[in-house]
Amino acid sequence: MSQMQISQRAADRLARSTPHGIARRVRGLSDKAIAWLFIAPTIVLLLAINVFPLIWTVYLSFTDFRANRINRAVEWVGLRNYERVLTDPDIWHNMLVTAHFLFWTMFFQVLIGFALAWLINKNFRGHGVWTTIILLPMMLSPAVVGNFWTFLYQPQIGLFNYVISFFTGADPSSFQMIGSVNLAPWAIVIVDTWMWTPYTMLICLAGLRSIPDYIYEAAEVDRAGPFRTFWSITLPMVMPFLMLAVLFRSIENFKMFDLVVELTSGGPGSVTELASINLKREAFEKWRTGLSSAFAIILFVTVFGAANIYVKALNTVKSR
Amino acid sequence: MNGYRKTWAAVLCGTMLGGFATTSAQAQDITLCWAAWDPANALVELSKDFTAETGIGMKFEFVPWPNFADRMLNELNSGGKLCDLLIGDSQWIGGGAENGHYVKLNDFFDAEGISMDDFAPATVYAYSTWPKGTPNYWALPAMGDANAWFYRKDWFSKPEIQEAFKAEYGRDLAPPETQRELMEIARFFQGREIDGKTRYGVNIFTERGSEGITMGATGALYAWGFKYENTPGKYDMEGAVNSPEAVEALEFYKELYKCCTAPGYTDSYMQESLDSFKSGQVAMAMNWFAFFPGLYKDEQVGGDKIGFFVNPKQNVEASTLGGQGISVISYSEKKDEALKYIKWFAQPAVQAKWWSLGGYSAHNSVLNDPGFKDSQPFAADFLKAMGAVQDFWQEPAYAELLLAMQKRLHDYIVADQGTAQEALDKLIADWTETFEDEGKL
Amino acid sequence: MSTSTAHSVVEPSRLTRTIAGTLVIVYALVTMVPLAWIFLTGFKTPPDSISYPPKVVFEPSLEGYVNLFTTRTRQTPDYMASLPPPQTWYEELVRSRQMVIAGPSKFGERFLNSVIIGFGSTFLSVFLGTLAAYAFSRFRVPLADDLLFFILSTRMMPPIAVAIPIFLMYRTLGLSDTHLGMIILYTAVNVSLSVWLLKGFVDEIPREYEEAALIDGYTRLQAFVKVVLPQMATGIAATAIFCLIFAWNEYAFALLLTSGTAQTAPPFIPTIIGEGGLDWPAIGAGVTLFLLPVLVFTILLRKHLLRGITFGAVRK
C-alpha cells in the first residue's frame, strides 16, 4: 500500500511544489534548513534504534557469538548459522505452525469481517454504537488478553468449555482446548480471530462505503440480480481494501509472539510453537545469539519479500 | 495549541518525576531477588531482624517460578543492577561462576569464619561449588529442597476406601513404597466418587515453558537409576541417558500422566499442583518441600487431612533436587551490605528461626538437632530425601540443556509424538550439539 | 423482477435492516462475553472464581482488588488471635482468610511504569512525528518517498529480532531496565506510525493559510507554530492516542529488556499469583484496571480508528 500511495503523492507534490518559493527565503531559517532540522531527529533515531541494530544482527549472524558469554572469543563461522537454521527440522516445524496459524486466522477474519461489514453497511438503527463495541477487542493488550483466555479455556472451571457443552451436550472436561494436540492450534486461531476480526471488518466497511450509490443504481437499471451485483460490483470494489487488511494482519501475525506465548507458550510439545516463540527461546533462553540472528534475518527477509510481492499484486488489483 | 502542548509537557514531567522518586531507593537498602513462593514470604519476615540489627533496609523482587529463570538469567546477562543478592537456582551456579555474575565467596568465608563444613554436604555440593565438588564457593546454601509427594490422609483412612483397595490390589492402602505402587494407587482413585464428587489420582508436573516436566519426569528417571553420563565429567551420554531403565521410567511417567491425572493439567507446575490438591481434585500430588509448611497450615486440606511421603524408589532411592544458594551479584554497587546479609544469615540462631518460619535451613546445627525430625510432619522425609538427591546438569549451558529436555519430554509425554526411546535418542543428539558448541566434546 | 420491488438496492428494506441489526448485535454480545467475564471475575472471591460449573451469579467481593494491591502471608490461628482487631475493611477481609497483609504489591509500581513510559514515548514520538510530517508534506525533500518507505519498513521487523542487538546495545550503554531506555525504544517504534498519520493530516490543511501568514510577515517557523499546529490539533490528539495504546500494550520488548525497575504492566500481570494457587480474581482486577483506559480511549478515538490502524492508507 505504501508504494501505491507514495507514487500518487509524488505526482501531486511535483504539481504543486513550483508556485511558492517567493515568500520564504526572506526571513528566518531557509526552508531547506527547516526541512532537514525537522526530519533529521526522526531519521537519526531510526538509524540508531532500527538500522544500526539490523546491521549488527547481520554481522552477528555470521559469528558464533553468545550474549551470555562476554569473555569468550568470537569466531567468524561464515554461513554455518544459516545452514543450521535452514536444515533444522524443528524450525521448519515452526514455519508450518506459523503458516497454519496465518492461513486460518486470515481465512476466518476475512470471512467474518467482511460479513459483519456488509451487515453493518445495511445501516440499521444504532449501528454506530454496536460497531464501536465490536471494535473493542482489537485495541487491548494481546499478552494480557492471552493470559486471561487461558482461564476461559480451563476444562472444568473455564467459561469456554462450559458454553460449548451447554450447546453440544459434551462433557466440559472431556476436551482441552490448549492442552490437546488436535485442539491447541485452533485455540490460538479462535482467540486471534476474536481479537482481530474487527480490524478486517473496519477496513471492509470503509471499502463498502466508498462505493458510490450511482453504480448500484446503474446496476439496477441493467436488471442485475442481487448476486450479480454482489459479485461484479461489491466484491471487486472492496477487494483492494480487503487485501490491504490482509497485508497488515499477515505481517502482524507472522511476527506473532505475545498473544500465543501467554496462551500456550508453544505447547503442548511444540504444536503451537510459532517462529517468533522459538526465536525468543534460541535468542534469550539458549543465548545462541549468532544462530538466532541468522534466524531473525531469515524471518525478516521472508516478511519483507512477501510483503513486497503482495503490494505489487495489490497495485494490479487496484488499477483494474 | 500552546496550552495543549504545555499540558502534555506538564503531565510528562509530573509522571517522570513521580517515577524517579519511587525508583530511587535509599542508599542503604539492598535488594534481594528470589522466586515468588511461600518461603519467600518467610524470608521477608526473617529479614526484619537483619534490618533491626544493622539498619540496612531490605527490598525484595520476587518472580513467580515459571518466569523466574528467564527473568533472572536475562537480568544477569544484561549486567543489571536490580539485585544485590540473588537466591538463584542450583543449576545456575556454573553460568554464574564462569560468566562472572556471582562474587566468589571463599575469601569472605575465611575472613568471617564461615565454614562450609557446617552445612549439609549435599547442599554445599549442589548449591555452592563450581566446578562441582571443588572448594570454590559461589553461594551459601540458603534453602534445601527436593521434590516429594503429599496425599489425602483423610481419604486414605476411610474404611470403605481401604476395603475397596484391598479387594482390588490385595494389599493395604498406604503411602506407596515404589513408583509402581504409586501408579496403582493413583489408578484406584482415578474417577472414584468420594463425598459425592469425582476425584482423580494424582497431579504431576507437565509444564512446558520453564522446567516443570523435566523436574517431574526426573523423579521417575532417577528412581529407575537414570544417569546423565557413563563416566562423570566425560559427557558420554550414549547408553546412560537412553538406557533401557531410562526408557522404562519415561514410559512409566507418560502412563501415569495418561491414566491418572485430572483433566486440564497439561501444563501443570507448582501452582497448578497446589490448585488441584487444594480444590480436592486429586488424591496425591508432587511438589517441592518448600510448599509443605503452607499445605500443612491450609484450612481446607491441611492438618490431619494431609500426609507426606518421599519420592518412592523403584530400582534406587532418589529424589529430584530443588533448592538454592544465596549469592552476591558482581554488578551490585552494594556488595559490602550484601555480604553483611550473608554473614548474618549464616548464624545458627538465624538458621533455626528460618526453619521455624517455614524456610528449609541447610545448616547442620538445625538438621542434626535431635528434635528436628519431629518438629514438622515432613521433617523426617526431608532428611531422607536430601540423603539421595540428584540434580540436573549445572553446566554454564544449563538453560540450553534444559530447554532441549523440556521439548523432548513434552513432545513425547503430552503431545504423543514418537516413543520414549526416540525422545531420549533425540535428547542425546541435542545435548551433544550443545556440548560440541561448548567445546566440551 | 428486481425493478418491480418496492425498495432500491441502495436503500435496504426494513426487514433486511432488522435481520442485519440482529446478527450484528448477536456478534457484538458474543464478542463481549470474554471481556465481561474478566470484569466479573475481578469481583469474585477466589473460591467462586474456580467453582465448577462457572458461577454467573455470585456475591460480589473486593477481595480480588485487595489481593491485587497487597502481598499477604498465611498465619496460624494462634498468631491471628494474638493480633489487635483490624483497622480497615481490607485488613478484615484478608484476616478472614487466615492471612495478614505483609505490604503493598508491585502492581502499583508496574502500573506507574506503564504510565511513565507510555506518556514519555508518546510525547516524544508525536513531537518528532509532527516535525517530520510537516517537513515531508510542505518541502521538497530529496528522496522523500524512499525515506518515507524506509520509515514504514522499520515496522516490519519482528520485535524479537530487533531485541537481540538492542539488548546488547542497552547493556553496553547501561540502558537496560531503565525508563529512559524504554521511552527511546517505544519512541523509535511509534515514530513511523506518527510520521505517516500526521503527514496525512498536514496534507489536508490547505497551504493557503500558511502562505497568507508568510505574506503577513511571519517566518516559516512562526507560520508553522501559529497557523499549522492549531489546525493539526485533532490529528495530533488522535496520533497521540494511537502511540499511547501501542506503548501501553507492548509486551515483547518489555519482557526482554526490563526486569524490575522499569517493567511495565503487560509482562507483570500474568505473573500475579496468589498464596498457593493462581489468584484469578486478582488477575481479573488487574486486567480490568489495565484495560479500562484503553476502552475509554477507543471510544474517544472511534472516528479516527480506521486511519490509525492502516497507517493513514485508508481515510474516511
C152 and C262 co-located in one domain? yes
Q: B49: helix, coil or strand? A: helix
pLDDT at B133: 85
The verdict on a CB contact (< 8 Å) between C275 and B12 is: no
Q: What is the rounded average pLDDT of the residues C59-77?
A: 86
Q: Is the pLDDT of residue B236 over 80?
A: yes
pLDDT at B395: 87
Q: Is the pLDDT of residue A78 over 70?
A: yes
Cross-chain CB nearest to C76 (options B75, B272, B297)? B297
C36 and C135 co-located in one domain? no
One-character DSSP codes across A99-126? HHHHHHHHHHHHHHHHHHHHHHTT--TT
Q: B315-334 pLDDT, tens per residue?
A: 999 999 999 999 999 999 99
Q: Is the pLDDT of residue B1 over 70?
A: no
CATH number of C118's domain: 1.10.3720.10
Q: Is the peptide bond before C230 cis (omega within 30 degrees of 0)?
A: no
pLDDT at C10: 59
- Mapping DSSP onto H, E and C, the string for chain C reads CHHHCCCCCCCCCHHHHHHHHHHHHHHHHHHHHHHHHHHHHCCCCHHHHCCCCCCCCCCCCCHHHHHHHEEEEECCHHHHHHCCCCCCHHHHHHHCCCEEEEEECCHHHHHHHHHHHHHHHHHHHHHHHHHHHHHHHHCCCCCHHHHHHHHHHHHHCCHHHHHHHHHHHHHHHCCCCCHHHHHHHHHHHHHHHHHHHHHHHHHCCCCHHHHHHHHCCCCHHHHHHHHHHHHHHHHHHHHHHHHHHHHHHCCHHHHHHCCCCCCCHHHHHHHCCCCCCCCHHHHHHHHHHHHHHHHHHHHHHCCCHHHHHCCCCCCC
Count of Cβ atoms closer than 10 Å to residue C36 Cβ: 11
Residue percentage of chain B with pLDDT more than 70: 94
The verdict on a CB contact (< 8 Å) between C260 and B82 is: yes
Mean pLDDT (chain A) is 86
Return the higher-pLDDT residue of A22 and C114: C114
What backbone torsions phi and psi does residue C101 show, to the nearest 5 degrees? -75, 125
Instruction: Determine the structural domain holding residue C17 and report its residue range.
Output: 2-41
Q: What is the rounded average pLDDT of the residues C67-71?
A: 89
Q: B346: helix, coil or strand? A: coil
Q: Which of A1-5, A18-22, C261-265 has the highest mean pLDDT?
A: C261-265
C117 and C194 co-located in one domain? yes
Q: Is the pLDDT of residue B8 over 80?
A: no
C29 and C141 co-located in one domain? no
- Grid cell at residue C135: 517537513
C128 and C213 co-located in one domain? yes
pTM: 0.87
Least confident residue range of B133-137, B394-398, C26-30: B394-398
Tell which phi-psi region holds residue A176, choosing left (phi > 0), alpha (psi between -120 and 50) or beta. Answer: beta
The verdict on a CB contact (< 8 Å) between C222 and A28 is: yes
Q: B390: helix, coil or strand? A: strand
B99 touching C, CB under 8 A? Answer: no
Q: B175-224 pLDDT, tens per residue?
A: 999 999 999 999 999 999 999 888 999 999 999 888 999 999 999 999 99
The verdict on a CB contact (< 8 Å) between B266 and A179 is: yes
Do residues A39 and A282 lie in contact, with contact meaning Cβ atoms separated by under 8 Å?
Answer: no
Would residue C264 count as lying in a domain?
A: yes
Return the partners of chain B (3 or more C-beta pairs < 8 Å).
A, C
pLDDT at C68: 92
Q: C238-292 pLDDT, tens per residue?
A: 899 889 999 999 999 999 998 888 999 999 988 887 665 678 899 999 999 998 9
Cross-chain CB nearest to C24 (options A45, A127, A220)? A127
Would residue C306 count as lying in a domain?
A: no
Domain count, chain A: 1
pLDDT at C316: 58
Interface probe with B: pick from A87, A285, A289, A292, most Cβ of B within 10 Å: A285
Do residues B102 and B339 lie in contact, with contact meaning Cβ atoms separated by under 8 Å?
Answer: no
Taking Cα atoms as reference points, which of A84, A73, A77 lies closest to residue A63?
A77
Q: C-chain residues within 8 Å CB-CB of A53? A: 162, 164-166, 169
Least confident residue range of A23-32, A255-264, B381-390, C45-54: A23-32
Interface probe with B: pick from C112, C171, C244, C271, most Cβ of B within 10 Å: C271
Would residue A198 count as lying in a domain?
A: yes
Would residue A106 count as lying in a domain?
A: yes
The verdict on a CB contact (< 8 Å) between B415 and A268 is: yes
A149 touching C, CB under 8 A? Answer: yes
pLDDT at A27: 55
Q: Is the pLDDT of residue A117 over 50?
A: yes
**Integer angstrom CA distances of residue C116 from A258, C186, C261, C263:** 22, 12, 12, 11
State the pLDDT confidence band at B247, using cuts at 50, 70 and 90.
very high
Q: Residues of C at the B interface (Cβ-Cβ below 8 Å)?
A: 50, 71, 73-74, 76, 98, 102-103, 109, 112-113, 115-116, 119-120, 123, 167, 170-171, 176-177, 179, 225, 229-230, 233, 236, 240, 256-257, 259-262, 271, 273, 275-278
Alpha carbon of C82: minimum distance to chain B alpha carbons (Å): 17
pLDDT at A169: 84
B302 touching C, CB under 8 A? Answer: no
Alpha carbon of A41: minimum distance to chain B alpha carbons (Å): 19
pLDDT at A276: 93
In chain B, the domains with their CATH numbers are 2-145+323-390 (3.40.190.10), 147-320+397-438 (3.40.190.10)
Q: What is the rounded average pLDDT of the residues B48-73?
A: 90
Instruction: Determine the structural domain holding residue A270 and report its residue range.
Output: 88-319
* Predicted complex: ipTM over 0.85: yes
State the pLDDT confidence band at A171, using cuts at 50, 70 and 90.
confident
Would residue A119 count as lying in a domain?
A: yes
Return the higher-pLDDT residue of A222 and B227: B227
Return the higher-pLDDT residue of C98 and B351: B351
State how far the Cα of C222 lies from the Cα of C218, in Å rounded to an integer: 6
Q: A41-69 pLDDT, tens per residue?
A: 999 999 999 889 889 999 999 999 988 88
pLDDT at A107: 97
C248 and C123 co-located in one domain? yes
Return the partners of chain A (3 or more C-beta pairs < 8 Å).
B, C
Would residue C100 count as lying in a domain?
A: no
Cross-chain CB nearest to C313 (options A1, A139, A140)? A1
Size of interface A-B (CB pairs under 8 A): 83
Cross-chain CB nearest to A6 (options C141, C145, C287)? C145
pLDDT at A100: 96
- Grid cell at residue A253: 501475525
Q: C146-155 pLDDT, tens per residue?
A: 888 888 777 7
Q: What is the rounded average pLDDT of the residues C186-203?
A: 91
pLDDT at A271: 92
Would residue C95 count as lying in a domain?
A: no
The Cβ-side half-sphere exposure at B195, using a 13 Å CA radius, reads: 8
DSSP conformation class of B304: G
A11 touching C, CB under 8 A? Answer: no
Cross-chain CB nearest to C9 (options A36, A54, A229)? A229
pLDDT at B278: 87
Q: Which helix (H) or strand (E) holds A40?
A: helix A31-46
Alpha carbon of A124: minimum distance to chain B alpha carbons (Å): 38
Q: C-chain residues within 8 Å CB-CB of B36? A: 271, 273
Q: B284-305 pLDDT, tens per residue?
A: 999 999 999 989 988 888 899 9
Strand spans (E) along B318-441:
319-320, 324-328, 389-390
Mean pLDDT (chain B) is 90
Q: A76: helix, coil or strand? A: strand
The verdict on a CB contact (< 8 Å) between A124 and C21 is: yes
C118 and C230 co-located in one domain? yes
CATH number of A138's domain: 1.10.3720.10
A301 touching C, CB under 8 A? Answer: no
The verdict on a CB contact (< 8 Å) between C273 and B20 is: no
pLDDT at A128: 86
**Integer angstrom CA distances of residue C262 from A128, A283, C185, C288:** 39, 22, 13, 21
Return the higher-pLDDT residue of C197 and A14: C197
The verdict on a CB contact (< 8 Å) between A7 and C28 is: no
Q: What is the rounded average pLDDT of the residues A126-140?
A: 89
The alpha carbon of residue C65 and the mean position of all alpha carbons in its chain are separated, in whole angstroms, by 21
B264 touching A, CB under 8 A? Answer: yes
Mean pLDDT (chain C) is 86
- Grid cell at residue C50: 474456580
State the pLDDT confidence band at A317, using cuts at 50, 70 and 90.
confident
Would residue C88 count as lying in a domain?
A: no
Q: Is the pLDDT of residue B34 over 90?
A: yes
Taking Cα atoms as reference points, which of B10, B55, B144 lies closest to residue B337?
B55
Do residues B161 and B325 lie in contact, with contact meaning Cβ atoms separated by under 8 Å?
Answer: no
Alpha carbon of A134: minimum distance to chain C alpha carbons (Å): 5
Q: Is the pLDDT of residue A1 over 90?
A: no
C26 and C162 co-located in one domain? no
C113 and C210 co-located in one domain? yes
Q: What is the rounded average pLDDT of the residues B394-404?
A: 90
Domain count, chain C: 2
